[in-house]
Structure 1
Amino acid sequence: MACKRKEQEQQKDRSLQPKKQRLVFTDLQRRTLIAIFKENKRPSKEMQMTISQQLGLELNTVSNFFMNARRRCMNRWQEEPGANPGVPSSSTSTFSKA
């Protein structure tokens, strides 16, 4: 019972806080992040910190961008078909739900 009560209290606390608004990248931020991703799929933490400072974003946001980009495989952002060997160049990828 104690765990359930604690969960209910946490839910009440969350409902009192205003919902955090979703971040939408500016065109410059998005193009910069995509260009960097094309060059380096896994930038170091130091590089991510530099990117976040230059673009005025939080480190967590930049880190999440690269993590999500890798997860989505970003094939649609390749400049030319066949630019990266071993990576399908078609822009239509099929994703299956697990």
Structure 2
Amino acid sequence: MRKRCRRFCGDRVGAVDGDLRFRRWTGSDAKPLDAAAGERLAFPWEEAMAVGFGLLRLSPEVFWAMTPVEFGHAVRVRSPGRGPVPLRADLVALMRAFPDRSEKEA
């Protein structure tokens, strides 16, 4: 058993934050992977709790037991539906019927 552990663990290299990487896969100087390239935004917990407790009237036990997918479906059921996307011809007709006024005309 000990030989097996040496064989599997001997090629590991310690990386940043205790992340273990295999030398043969990424090299010893590989940077840790970060799926969220760029600025990380905080999750809007206050808004999510307001929707969950206020709009959906969930109990705390139910709210915290929900997965994000379940919560998203519950919110979509209660939110007003979006209509169909307007076609380009419809937008052109609306722009002709209701042209923007310039500051001189106002």
Give TM-score, length-normalised by structure 1. Answer: 0.29
Larger Rg: 2
Q: Please identify which structure carries the higher helix content.
A: 1
Q: Please identify which structure carries the higher strand content.
A: 2
Give TM-score, length-normalised by structure 2. Answer: 0.27
